[in-house]
Chain A
Amino acid sequence: MSEPLFAIDDLSVEYAAGTAVVGVSLRVDAGEAVAVVGESGSGKSQTLLAALGLLDAGARVMGSARFGDQQLIGAPRATLDRLRGDRITFVFQEPMTALDPLVRVGAQIAAPISAHGGAAAKARARALLEEVGIAGGAGRAGAYPHQLSGGERQRVMIAMALANRPDLLIADEPTTALDATVQKRILDALEERRRALGLAMILVTHDLRLARRYAARVYVMRAGRVVEEGATAAVFAAPREAYTRGLIEAAPPRAAAGRDEQAPEVLACDDLRVSYERKSAVQGVSMALRRGRTLAVVGESGSGKSTLARALLRLQPAQGDIRWLGRSVSRLEGAALREARRAVQIVFQDPFAALSPRFSIDDIVVEGLRAQGRLSAGAARRALEAVGLDPAFGAREPDASSGGQRQRVAIARALAVEPAVIALDEPTSSLDRAVQRDILELLARLQAERGLAYLFITHDLGLARAFADDVIVLKEGRVVERGAAAEVFARPAEVYTRELIEAADLGP
């Protein structure tokens, strides 16, 4: 075996509060692409940040990390500075915050070049913009970050990372914040440059599909340890660990099929329009959701999915007719509207933002009942039990619970008022795979038991395919395609839908 380019050996990271990484070893050879996968909190990022001396002073790092023959752990700051940004570079998750908003992108790319003594930095920056495939190429060097889309910003980040022709690129969830279609294009561009430059890469991700497509070897991490490693194909073909199998098989549960297509309409709208200031977010959408069925609304971010849901719930001013339980509610106001609201409820994507801070779980769950003056003893207990939470949990505050638990609380809160429809706005996107599956199973069970109708907003087409009876595809606030989910996914009529489906299926 040849000398590795970068090798971490028995690395541990300890904080006062506990241990984040335990005895992790991994190696990358020159020109090789390696993935580190695991759920959030599994210590993926911590390992690499620790190896490169990027953790703050609160962390105690032990073990070894070598780049070539340079030991990095305990190396003086000056040595690390010479390597970082020059021989080893990074691409982080957040393209929105990683760029200085007041500096033109061309100058930002040129900065690390001049910092490490390169000449003709500006010309090089323009060339790099071409290489990473930004639309408009070198001409965009004069643009400010806010003039670029999220994907373009991430391309700029990659251009910065490639600027000094490094030996190793560390990409930490480089496309997690981006839409699936953009994700694929950017990683393809990155992979193309990587091969052209003979660069080694460590791809840190929670998404196994990315690891499978872009890495030759994979390390699976859980709770600060490497639980499985090997060639990507071998790991995917025959995972040894139950945990790895869980990650690979995290396909969503199949919802009960063959539901009544003639059930009464519970949520519908005609020619719904929403506009902000000058921009229109939803442009004439009509839809109908029947009792006991699930309607998925899919599309990229910015396509108006969430706005549509909020408008349907009368949480957002809109034009057009909206009907709850067959009754037009577009003109209801004040107390009459509040009275009608119990029919339709909503569960949001981010369970941390959706629960009022400083409330106990019990208070959160029964808030709707209290508002309607129907609060009875034991209501909180029943609501928590319905979503599979221990009633004793109710005395706690949301801060003391996990994302999955919070999402169950949010569901319990919606259920407590016995609605006919629940709008699920990306209900599982901020959760880990395993938790995601639990929540989906819960939702499917509740639907079967109570005949609930779901308006299922998602960007995840795999989820929509498995979970929904019907689907509508939104693009720029318009419905571009609609129909039975099985039909649409099997035979998409629109180019846009096909693109979405292709981008979602990153597997081989």
Chain B
Amino acid sequence: MNFARRLGVVLLAMVAIFCIAGPLATGREFSVVYPDYVRAAPSLRPHPTAPEARAALSRVAGRMRVQASDISIADGMASARLSADIPVDLRALVYFARSDAFGPAKVLESRAQGREIEVAAPLKRLWLPLGADPNGRDLLARLMLAGRVSLLVGVLGSAVALGFGVAYGMIAGYAGGKTDLVMMRAVDALYALPFIFFVILLTAFFGRRFVLLFVAIGAVEWLDMARLARGQTLSLKSREFVLAARSLGVGPAAILARHIAPNIAGLVFAYLAVLAPRVILVESFLSFLGLGVREPLTSLGVLVAEGARHLQDAPWLLIAPAALLMLLLYGFAFIGEDSATRGRLR
């Protein structure tokens, strides 16, 4: 195994572990909204920070229809004096616990018939290492989900293309003659179809569904696979071990399955490493256009699109998903390059 290939495998393994095992480690839901932390910047310190706590406390006070003063944030506790014209309704203290910043509040002291109270509430500690998106959702959790979706699309989309394309190409190549001609002209005709138009039609008819993505991507990518498999089959079918099998009376299905398929497997798998990142890229492109997966699901393409819209004020929203996409593509590319080279050599 050469260096590039090893690097590719390591990269892919890292991305896969990050995306699949990551959520177990953080235990965070990708769909939870933290209204207090909309577009929070990436930070290694837990939220809320002192200014955020102050702002959050003011908002809580606003909801309780009281004035907050003497706000102090220290040692994981926030305390403040709340005052109002009428006695403070203590039931309204639940607003503290409902916010993302505080735990349940306690009344330390009550003065002026309850028109002025001293309250203290523990600060929640919430880490958002990559910040939060414009809806206040944890970007790290979103990123892991997006990575999972993209990997799934990459693997399943390629598998659809692989299964159908290889079978189609092998049959066309082995049958030869008119069958081959008709089958391959059909492939040429499909090549001529504008891809985006095709996808828009699909979504228009069937709505935006996850399965449709695989159909759309598979429907386009199998064409290359079919050509590849056909070419290989053409050259293999006149090889002597295939002729020997034919003269022994082995039927076409068995020859394809036993003699031809195993011998094109190497090249096909090499090509798979080239195909998977392309499928991921296509999915990202579709999602970028808004034709991909639907909220609250997300994919790297969606995240990149969203990030691009906030490039001015929140560049990290673009940087993180773009970096993950890049790592994923590099991983596949390194593996694919290497195996494609060796496929050619053989």
B263 proximal to A (CB < 8 A): yes
B243 proximal to A (CB < 8 A): yes
**Contacts A338-B250, A345-B248, A353-B240 supplied; 14 other A-B pairs, CB < 8 Å:** A313-B247, A315-B243, A315-B246, A335-B251, A339-B249, A344-B247, A353-B239, A356-B245, A367-B245, A368-B248, A371-B245, A371-B251, A414-B244, A417-B249
A342 proximal to B (CB < 8 A): yes
B258-A342 in contact (CB<8A): no
On chain B, which size bracket covers the interface?
10 to 19
Given A356-B259, A357-B263, A358-B262, do A348 and B247 touch, yes or no (CB 8 Å)?
no
| Complex Cα–Cα for A354 and B263 (A) | 13
Shortest CB-to-CB span from A274 to chain B, Å, is 14
Interface string of A261-305 (1 = CB under 8 A from B): 000000000000000000000000000000000000000000000
| Complex Cα–Cα for A91 and B52 (A) | 83
Shortest CB-to-CB span from B33 to chain A, Å, is 55
Shortest CB-to-CB span from B235 to chain A, Å, is 12
B32 proximal to A (CB < 8 A): no
Q: Give the residues from 327 to 358 in chain A that come closer than 8 angstroms, CB to CB, to chain B.
A: 335, 338-339, 341-342, 344-346, 348, 350, 353-358
B247-A367 in contact (CB<8A): no
Shortest CB-to-CB span from A289 to chain B, Å, is 16
The residue on B at minimum CB distance from A357 is B263
B240-A348 in contact (CB<8A): yes
| Complex Cα–Cα for A69 and B263 (A) | 53
For chain A, the count of residues having a C-beta within 8 Å of the partner chain is 27
A354-B249 in contact (CB<8A): no
| Complex Cα–Cα for A342 and B245 (A) | 11
Chain A contacts for B248, CB-based, 8 A: 341-342, 345, 367-368, 371, 413, 417
Shortest CB-to-CB span from A151 to chain B, Å, is 26
Chain B contacts for A313, CB-based, 8 A: 247
A372 proximal to B (CB < 8 A): yes
- Residue from A367, A368, A417 with most neighbouring chain B CB atoms (10 Å): A367
Q: Give the residues from 247 to 303 in chain B that come closer than 8 angstroms, CB to CB, to chain A.
A: 247-251, 254, 258-259, 262-263
A310-B258 in contact (CB<8A): no
- 13 A-B pairs, CB-CB below 8 angstroms? A313-B247, A315-B246, A339-B249, A341-B247, A342-B248, A345-B247, A348-B243, A353-B241, A357-B241, A368-B250, A371-B249, A372-B249, A414-B244
Q: Could you say which of B239, B249, B258, B262 contacts A341, with CB atoms under 8 Å apart?
A: B249
A410 proximal to B (CB < 8 A): yes
B249-A342 in contact (CB<8A): yes
Chain B contacts for A342, CB-based, 8 A: 248-249
| Complex Cα–Cα for A361 and B65 (A) | 88
Shortest CB-to-CB span from A335 to chain B, Å, is 8
A356-B241 in contact (CB<8A): yes
Shortest CB-to-CB span from B255 to chain A, Å, is 9
Shortest CB-to-CB span from A427 to chain B, Å, is 12
| Complex Cα–Cα for A350 and B241 (A) | 10
Q: Give the residues from 214 to 242 in chain B that come closer than 8 angstroms, CB to CB, to chain A.
A: 239-241
Chain B contacts for A368, CB-based, 8 A: 248-250
Chain A contacts for B239, CB-based, 8 A: 353
| Complex Cα–Cα for A339 and B250 (A) | 9
Chain B contacts for A353, CB-based, 8 A: 239-241
Lowest 8 A-B CB distances belong to which pairs?
A368-B248, A338-B249, A354-B240, A371-B250, A341-B249, A348-B240, A356-B241, A353-B240
